[in-house]
A and B are shown apart, each in its own frame.
Chain A
Amino acid sequence: MDKTPPTMPRQSWTFSNEVNAEIRRAAATGIYDIRGGGAKRRVPHFDDLLFLGASVSRYPLEGYRETCGTKVTLGTRFAKKPIELDIPITIAGMSFGSLSGPAKEALGRGATLAGTSTTTGDGGMTEEERGHSEKLVYQYLPSRYGMNPDDLRRADAIEVVVGQGAKPGGGGMLLGQKITERVAGMRDLPVGIDQRSACRHPDWTGPDDLEIKILELREITGWEKPIYVKVGGSRPYYDTALAVKAGADVVVLDGMQGGTAATQDVFIEHVGQPTLACIRPAVQALQDLGMHREVQLIVSGGIRTGADVAKALALGADAVSIGTAALIALGDNDPKYEAEYNAMNTTAGAYDDWHEGRDPAGITTQDPDLMARLDPVEGGRRLRNYLSVLTLECQTLARACGHNHVHNLEPEDLCALTMEAAAMAQVPLAGTNWYPGKPGF
């Protein structure tokens, strides 16, 4: 009998079970993995920042008595009719097609109850969404699916989408499973085929062209609508500066944790920068141009709590936008559907095959039976509640720092827990007065 102590089986860090499973999946199918959502890898984020709070040098505001404003006005630069929001949190663009009609209605209802805006997405404007959204931003995308001047005029703002955080430089693909007659009709394509959303606009390239495109959109809509330009978080300083140069009223900056309906996993995880790393360069660009607060900055990508909202505002954003969190508020990835997630070889919280159209929560689907599971009225109420909590949390933190408006939050209110976060947010590492790259050190 061999008495040699056995070697402990050792898993490779490089070839982990997760990595090996993906290799086997790729070998079996010959197709890269497509999924929804944003980057799942751990990246420096708002969790790595802390508020300092009031002290001897600063006094706080009374939490339940003293006012802390949350209103925000977007589009003050050129638009005749800027958008006035009660809260600094908006709903990001998500397409009808990737989302069901009831889901779009629920987003509109929730946003309206909370006094904020929602955004269309690829695939055009639906009656569900326009009818239930007091303030609706109409996305102008490379595919131009469903684009028409009538909807452009009945929008409250126009968002020219250059890129998104999940896939800067990439287009999209709505797979045939979700292309019902209604979705296909809105996109002028046959039922059941994969629908490619192009990665760049068909009739302009570069910032000089973009300036003319914005001119055209303003001329068509009588210079009434705020024009947003949405960019993915890749080169935030230059993209922001060029968007301003092109005439944007608002810049929407989406970091790599921002979600998508369907994109290659390799794209989501390996292209773009974390949201935290994008904000300061964008704000710097606005400041260098003398446009901070005149051109508003909306930040998105991984906003989950009022703390995230407050930290983004403290770093210089005027508002934030939520997508994934809004879907979770509606019921996406709810553990009550665990058995159904298990049947699809996944689990609640990890379900991301939104493109397959089998969402048990009835949100990322066009299946009539699944869609019927989402009550848009109840969904809207849940979203309103969630937006209210985000706002209350943000106010709580702002008051603790002594501010009577959430826009008065500033980088000096923050410190960082890690060197990486300190470098990205350009706020001192906790316990020091230093951050990597700080001038003078």
Chain B
Amino acid sequence: MSTIDMAQTPLRQVNETLQAQALAGANAEYTLDNPRGAHAVAVGLNGPLSVRVNGSTGYYCGGMNKEATITVTGSAGPGVAENMMSGTVVIEGDASQYAGATGHGGLLVIKGNASSRCGISMKGIDIVVHGNIGHMSAFMAQKGNLVVLGDAGDALGDSLYEARLFVRGSVKSLGADCIEKEMRPEHLTLLADLLAKAGADAKPEEFRRYGSARKLYNFNIDHAGEY
């Protein structure tokens, strides 16, 4: 286990070190102290590495992550794990806007709440939020799974493509072309797996599934009023 004090070490040096270690593929473990809300912490990691950030981070922590496991003990600013390809990012506190935006793969776990636009334009990532999510979450979400143990805000899944949304609590409103769908056995199995990976204490049967009505997939003037 190595420790880097971000109060004493420039961001460039921090990321350079972590990126080199990830690329070395040695499964090393790093702890970052005093992140003090710094932006772009532990971005672009490209290999197996374990990073524990003691504190809270600013924008884009874990951006474009591949294979690495990043844990933030505090809260995360906007765009945490944006465009993640694989690996795991865990936020023990809350996450700000755009959590997991455009993520292509991997698992993002938010143990607190996530703000608006969680999972916006997601492209294959799995996101599990233990608390609530804000409005316009999963906007234009293409692929992957968004699991919410709490409530969802307005316009959930607006202009959704093929991503699957699972919400245990209430949904304030659904966005354009997003509808509730039947929960089939394969969804319960998938959900059970995601909940277990995210360390979430919930039963799959307690959730409702939402997805695309696919009415907006090809432009039709008769559907123009839906958005």
The answer to whether A and B come from one shared complex is: yes
Report the separation of the CA atoms of residues A43 and B217 in the bound assembly, to the nearest whole angstrom: 36
Contact between B85 and A149 (Cβ–Cβ < 8 Å)? yes
18 contacts between A and B (CB under 8 A): A148-B83, A148-B104, A149-B46, A175-B219, A176-B217, A188-B123, A190-B161, A193-B161, A194-B219, A202-B120, A202-B121, A202-B140, A203-B78, A203-B79, A203-B102, A212-B39, A216-B43, A219-B43
Binds B, one of A220-228, A277-285, A299-307: A220-228
**Is B189 located at the chain interface by the 8 A CB criterion?**
no
Given contacts A216-B40, A220-B44, contact A194 B221 (CB under 8 A): no
Residues of A within 8 A of B101 (CB): 202-203
Complex partner residue of B64 from A29, A152, A176, CB under 8 angstroms = A152
Q: Which of A243-270 contact B (CB under 8 A)?
A: none
B residues 76-97 with Cβ under 8 Å of A? Answer: 78-79, 82-83, 85, 97
Task: Please pick, from A152, A188, A209, A221, the residue contacting B104 in the complex, using a CB distance under 8 A.
Answer: A188
CB pair A216 B39 closer than 8 Å: yes
Complex Cα distance, B140 from A193, in Å, reads 13
What is the chain B residue whose CB lies nearest that of A147?
B83
Question: Which residues of A have CB within 8 Å of B217?
Answer: 176, 190, 193-194
Residues of A within 8 A of B11 (CB): 219
B1-9, B55-63, B200-208: which one contacts chain A?
B55-63
Chain B residue contacts of A194, Cβ below 8 A = 217-219
Complex: how many Å from CA A209 to CA B218? Answer: 33
Cα(A189)–Cα(B124), bound, Å: 10
User: What 5 A-B pairs have minimum CB-CB distances, sorted nearest first?
Assistant: A220-B44, A30-B221, A203-B79, A193-B217, A203-B98
Q: Is B21 an interface residue (CB 8 A)?
A: no
The number of residues on chain A lying at the interface, defined by a beta carbon within 8 Å of a beta carbon of chain B, is 35
- Bound state CA distance, A132 and B58, in angstroms? 39
Chain A CB within 8 A of B168 CB: no
Which residue among A30, A31, A219 has the maximum number of chain B CB atoms within 10 Å of its CB? A219
Tell me the minimal C-beta distance from B149 to chain A in angstroms. 23
Contacts of B104 in A (CB 8 A): 147-148, 188
Q: Evaluate whether A144 and B121 lie within 8 angstroms (CB atoms) in the complex, with A193-B217, A194-B219, A203-B79 already known.
A: yes
Q: In the complex, which residue of chain A has the Cβ closest to the Cβ of B117?
A: A202
Task: Assess whether A144 is in contact with B123, with CB atoms less than 8 Å apart.
Answer: yes
Contact B58 A212 (CB under 8 A): yes
Among B44, B85, B162, B221, point to the contact of A190 (Cβ < 8 A).
B162
- Interface positions of B (Cβ within 8 A of A): 11-12, 15-16, 19, 39-40, 43-44, 46, 58-60, 63-64, 66, 78-79, 82-83, 85, 97-98, 101-102, 104, 117, 120-121, 123-124, 139-140, 142-143, 159, 161-162, 217-219, 221
Report if A213 contacts B (CB, 8 A). yes
Nearest CB of chain B from residue A27's CB, rounded to whole Å: 12
Given known contacts A189-B142, A198-B140, A213-B59, what 14 new A-B pairs fall within 8 Å (CB)?
A143-B121, A144-B83, A149-B83, A188-B123, A189-B161, A190-B162, A194-B217, A194-B218, A202-B117, A203-B101, A203-B102, A212-B40, A216-B40, A216-B63
* A204 at interface by CB-CB < 8 Å: yes
Complex formed: what's the CA distance from A188 to B19 in Å?
27
Name A's B-contacting residues (CB within 8 A): 29-31, 143-144, 147-150, 152, 173, 175-176, 187-190, 192-194, 196, 198, 202-204, 209, 212-213, 215-216, 219-223
Q: A147-B83, A202-B117, A203-B101 are in contact. Are A188 and B142 (CB under 8 A)?
A: yes
User: How many angstroms from the CA of A148 to the CA of B102 in the assembled complex?
Assistant: 10
The residues of B that contact A144 with a CB separation of less than 8 Å are 83, 102, 121, 123
CB–CB A202/B102 < 8 A: yes
Residues of B within 8 A of A148 (CB): 64, 83, 85, 104
Check if B15 sits within 8 Å of A212, measured CB to CB.
Answer: no
B residues in contact with A204, CB < 8 Å: 78-79
Interface residues of chain B: helix, strand, loop or mixed (majority): loop
CB distance from A147 to the nearest CB of B (A): 6
CB nearest neighbor in A for B60: A216
CB contacts (< 8 Å) of B40 on chain A: these are 212, 215-216, 219
A220 touches B142 (CB 8 A): no
Distance A203 CA – B136 CA, assembled complex (angstroms): 13
A213 and B63 CA atoms in complex are apart in Å by: 10
CA distance A194 to B44 in the complex (A): 31
A150 to B64, CA, bound (A): 10
Task: Name B11's closest neighbour in chain A (CB-CB).
Answer: A219
User: In chain B, what residue has the closest Cβ to A30?
Assistant: B221
* B162 x A189 contact (CB < 8 A): yes
A222 and B16 contacting across the interface, CB-CB below 8 Å: yes
B120 touches A203 (CB 8 A): yes
Contacts of A176 in B (CB 8 A): 217-218
Given the complex of chains A and B, what is the CA–CA distance between A223 and B102 in angstroms? 23
Question: CB-nearest residue of chain A relative to B214?
Answer: A193
The answer on a CB contact under 8 Å between B64 and A220 is yes
- Complex: A194 Cα to B217 Cα, angstroms: 6
Chain B CB within 10 A, most for which of A175, A176, A193, A223: A193
Q: Shortest CB–CB separation between residue B205 and chain A, in angstroms?
A: 29
Interchain CA distance A340-B58 in the complex, whole Å: 56
Docked Cα-Cα span, A204 to B46, in Å, equals 24
Residues of B within 8 A of A212 (CB): 39-40, 58-60
Contacts of B64 in A (CB 8 A): 148-149, 152, 220
Whether B219 pairs with A31 at a CB distance below 8 angstroms is yes
Q: With a 10 A CB-CB cut-off, give which of B44, B58, B82 has the most chain A CB atoms.
A: B44
In angstroms, Cα B14 to Cα A215, docked, is 14
From the candidates A31, A150, A198, A216, name the one contacting B121 in the complex (CB within 8 A). Answer: A198
Find chain B residues with CB under 8 A from A152 CB: 64
For residue B142, which residues in chain A have a CB less than 8 angstroms away from its CB? 187-189
Residues of chain B lying within 8 A (CB to CB) of residue A196: 140, 159
Distance in Å: Cβ of B154 to nearest Cβ of chain A: 17
CB-contact partner of A220 in B43, B117, B120, B218, under 8 A: B43
> How far is the CB of B82 from the nearest CB of chain A, in Å?
5
Chain A residues near B221: list those with CB within 8 A: 29-31
Docked-complex contact A147 and B102, CB < 8 angstroms: yes
CB-based contact B82/A203 at 8 Å: yes
